[in-house]
């Protein structure tokens, strides 16, 4: 009877309806039916990402999709600027290292977002930069970077702009074409409300020019093969067609709701949660907090491991801990995808109960009350 509620910033909760869409009898993927489903998914993905390009659907994780983009766009005879202030930014730096792609690291503390002006300064210092990689919503540090501004700086400097949008797309305002983003990557297990298993990669015409100018140093991750197959609404290798069925369902839900409304709902949940955190006398982690996930900085008196264990075992609330040097210091509460105000107020209430169990002093109901005021004000 324990009801489990995933408050982790991926995998996020999957609706019973989406699970049942994926439980339908499986058809073959080389059929008119699958091609039609894939085409609809690509149309809907283009809507969610804000692009007229045809996003590519890869069977794998977000990491794999990002790797495909990096090895296609970041050439060995050019310089890449990689911005990192968290675990995922560090991962993209590691990919550049493995492939021996020349790069400049722009590192900041966890929780600090990247600003357009500072990226512009990096271009002045290093005029050879041909591509920039950054994480729009850095899940590990709960922070946001200036995607629109950085994209403009890249355009102004004739460099490609590669965005890890894994916890941004479908969560916070994201307008690939309008902002001039060249690569937009996401995964199925975040705002797309599905299990992990699909990676999405949208590619601008500018990026295709670079990708087409050389042979990517990989086979499965060569984006050119996906583009070619996509012309016939097909995939170069056997796709996870079960998940593509689920994707059609969840993307249709997003379209019906309207992407702006999804962004607004996510922002409201995040705003309410931040208010609750403050009302409980705790601090919001991240100097530049993002709306996809809220980081809660715990006082030394609270045992993070014990807190999360109580939340899960007693109340069915599974939230994430910190990563890297933030391990043991923060918990993270998700606002992406199939989660609403009632779920979230429940998580805040459970957080209060678990904090009380550890003797932390606060007024019971202060968090849920503060959250409620934000929701009521809409």
Rule CB under 8 A: which residues touch its own copies? Answer: 4, 6, 8, 10-11, 13-14, 16, 19-20, 22-29, 31, 59-64, 67, 94-95, 98-99, 187, 189, 195-197, 215-222, 237-243, 318
As measured in angstroms, the least distance from the Cβ of 240 to its own copies is 4
As measured in angstroms, the least distance from the Cβ of 326 to its own copies is 15
The residues with which 185 forms a beta bridge, in sequence order, are 164, 201
> Which of residues 13 and 202 has its CB atom nearest to its own copies in the complex?
13
As measured in angstroms, the least distance from the Cβ of 14 to its own copies is 5
> Which of residues 240 and 310 has its CB atom nearest to its own copies in the complex?
240
Q: First-to-last CA distance in the chain?
A: 33
| 202 C-beta neighbours (distance < 10 Å), count | 30
Contacts 24+ apart (CB under 8 A), 273-277: 273/333, 273/335, 273/344, 273/348, 273/371, 275/370, 275/371, 275/373, 275/374, 276/348, 276/366, 276/367, 276/368, 276/370, 276/371, 277/367
As measured in angstroms, the least distance from the Cβ of 320 to its own copies is 8
> Which of residues 10 and 50 has its CB atom nearest to its own copies in the complex?
10
> Which of residues 180 and 187 has its CB atom nearest to its own copies in the complex?
187
As measured in angstroms, the least distance from the Cβ of 283 to its own copies is 25
* Distance, CA of 265 to chain centre: 16
> Which of residues 60 and 346 has its CB atom nearest to its own copies in the complex?
60
Is-contact 202 176, C-beta < 8 A?
A: yes
Q: What is the dihedral of CA 360, 365, 367, 369, to 10 degrees?
A: -160
Phi (first) and psi of residue 84, to 5 degrees: -140, 135
As measured in angstroms, the least distance from the Cβ of 115 to its own copies is 28
Residue count (the chain): 378
Query: Of the candidates 312, 324, 337, 340, which has an alpha carbon nearest to the alpha carbon of residue 285?
Result: 324
> Which of residues 238 and 261 has its CB atom nearest to its own copies in the complex?
238
Give the CA count within 13 Å in the CB-facing half-sphere of 19.
5
State how far the Cα of 239 lies from the Cα of 244, in Å rounded to an integer: 8
> Which of residues 4 and 342 has its CB atom nearest to its own copies in the complex?
4
As measured in angstroms, the least distance from the Cβ of 237 to its own copies is 5
């Amino acid at each position: 009877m324990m009801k489990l509620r995933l408050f982790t910033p991926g995998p996020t909760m999957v609706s019973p309806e989406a699970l049942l869409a994926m439980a339908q009898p499986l058809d073959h993927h080389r059929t008119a039916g699958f091609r039609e489903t894939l085409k609809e998914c690509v149309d809907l993905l283009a809507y969610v990402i804000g692009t007229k390009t045809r996003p590519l659907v890869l069977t794998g994780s977000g990491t794999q999709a990002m790797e495909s983009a990096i090895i296609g766009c970041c050439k060995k005879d050019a310089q890449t600027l990689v911005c990192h202030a968290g675990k995922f930014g560090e991962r993209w730096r590691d990919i550049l290292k493995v492939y021996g792609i020349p790069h400049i690291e722009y590192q900041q503390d966890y929780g600090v977002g990247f600003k357009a002006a500072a990226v512009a300064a990096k271009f002045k210092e290093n005029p050879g930069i041909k591509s920039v990689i950054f994480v729009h919503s850095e899940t590990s540090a709960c922070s946001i970077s200036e995607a629109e501004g950085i994209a403009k700086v890249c355009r102004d400097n004739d460099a490609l702009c590669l965005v890890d949008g894994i916890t941004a797309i479908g969560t916070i305002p994201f307008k690939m074409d309008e902002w001039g983003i060249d690569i937009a990557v996401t995964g199925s297990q975040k705002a797309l409300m599905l299990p992990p298993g699909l990676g999405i990669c949208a590619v601008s015409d500018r990026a295709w020019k670079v990708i087409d100018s050389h042979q990517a140093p990989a086979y499965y991750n060569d984006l050119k093969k996906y583009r070619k197959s996509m012309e016939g609404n097909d995939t170069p290798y056997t796709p996870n067609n079960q998940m593509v069925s689920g994707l059609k369902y969840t993307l249709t839900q997003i379209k019906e709701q309207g992407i702006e409304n999804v962004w607004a709902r996510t922002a409201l949940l995040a705003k309410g949660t931040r208010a609750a955190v403050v009302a409980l006398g705790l601090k919001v982690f991240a100097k530049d907090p993002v709306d996809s996930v809220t980081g809660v900085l715990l006082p030394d008196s609270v045992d993070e491991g014990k807190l999360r264990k109580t939340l899960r075992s007693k109340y069915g609330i599974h939230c994430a801990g910190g990563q890297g040097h933030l391990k043991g210091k923060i918990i993270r509460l998700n606002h992406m995808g199939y989660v609403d105000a009632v779920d979230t107020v429940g998580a805040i209430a459970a957080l209060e109960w678990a904090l009380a169990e550890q003797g932390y002093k606060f007024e019971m109901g202060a968090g849920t009350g503060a959250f409620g005021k934000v929701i009521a004000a809409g």
